[in-house]
Each structure stands twice: as structure tokens, then as C-alpha cells.
Amino acid sequence: MSTRSAGEAVAAGVAGATLGGAAGSLVGLAVPAALVGGLNGVVSGWRGIYDWSSVTGAAAFALDSTWALPTTLSALVAHAVGTVRGEPGYSDELSRRQNRHVYGRGFQVRQRFATTFGNVVNGAGDLRSPRRARLVTDHEDVHVWQARGFGPLYPVLYAGWAVGGAVGGAGLWALRRRDEAFTKVVESCAYYLNPFEYWAYSRDDHWPPAGLVSSIGPRRPMVRSFASFR
């Protein structure tokens, strides 16, 4: 670790712990919130992910250390998994001053699908591929900012849609779509039609995705200027 990265790690760690502790004190969780904010600050400062020269970078750090602390906690878990998963490992090129962390493998929930926890993108794959790199910059980055913007509501809303969509998809298949594979109909309703995914796929100019059952859901992407979120 260079002197410069060590200094940034210490400064961001102290600032993150201070912000986290102040936010956590509002709900009686000052100490655990300070720990999460401080650890995120140390790791992120060491790796230099925040673009301190921009308002966007300062806002990313402030949100990660306060409103989005629950998803930042999930990001710390993803870091722990990512450090032991092996190659392809951490991508400094797509992380440094980009307000996010990117792992080629990391904490993968589903093979060949990238998954984002807080400010950590996992399962990015072979980033020498322009398509995989764009998946990070134009799709997963949207999820990073969704987690920041919606904070503790984000996992609740995302999971709530997934459960409700799965039930709705099963009912739709039983009533009207028996000519389609059951799993494909359920996946379309539970995953692809999730508003957070529709948002990210639209920003990536990848809507409708190949896995979406034809005639289920909108055919046109969300207006891209809105889908960019930032």
C-alpha cells in the first residue's frame, strides 16, 4: 500500500465512521453503523474508488456512509467473498475513481449473471470483452446508484417484486401461457419485469433482453435520459 492510499484509507475510514455513527444514532445503532461506515471508508479509500473531485463522488461516499448503510453492509460481505474467489479478481481499471468496486468473480448468485451488492459489482466476467465492460458501466452501475438512492428500501422493494412476480408468473403460466416453459414465464415476471431491472436494461440499451418471454411486458425501453439516473 502506498503512502497516498494509506492516507486516503485512514481519512475515508474516519469520515465514514463519523457519518455512519451520526446516521446510526438516529435509530439507536450508532456503533454498528460507525463500524460499517468506517470499514467501507477504509476499503474504498485504500482502493481509491471515490472521485473526490466531483459532486457525484462526494455524494456516493456520503450515501454509502449514511442512508445506504444496509446495502453497504452487504457490500462488505461481497468484499470478503471476492477476496477468496480467485481469478478473474478485482478490476482496478473499472473501479478506481468510478465510485464502485468491480470483481470479475466475487460473490456470484447465478452463473454468467453479474450481481451488485451495494457499491460492489460481482460476476463481471472477462472484462477484456467490450460487452462485459459495458455491462458494468451501463447496467450494474445503475444498480449501484439504485442501492444508494433507495437505501434500506432497495433490497425490500427488489425482493418484494421478485416474490410477487414469481407468484404472478406461476399464475399466468397456469392460466394462459402453458405453451411456454414454466421457469421462463416465472423468470420473466420475477426478474426481467422488476422495475429496477427494466431500468438497468434500458440504460444498457439491452431491452427487451433475450430471456424475456415474447409479449410479456413492455417492448420499448425506458426513456434513456431518465434511465441514466444520474
Dump pLDDT digits (tens) for 132-147: 999 999 999 999 999 9
**pLDDT at residue 227 above 80?**
no
Mean per-residue pLDDT over the chain, rounded? 94
Amino acid 3: pLDDT? 74
Residue at 90: amino acid letter? Y
Amino acid 230: pLDDT? 52
Amino acid 60: pLDDT? 98
Tens digit of each residue's pLDDT (9 = 90 or more) over 11-63? 999 999 999 999 999 999 999 999 999 999 999 999 999 999 999 999 999 99
Amino acid 132: pLDDT? 93
Q: Model confidence at 95, in pLDDT bands (50, 70, 90)?
A: very high
Domain definitions of the chain by residue range: 3-151, 155-227
**pLDDT at residue 224 above 80?**
no
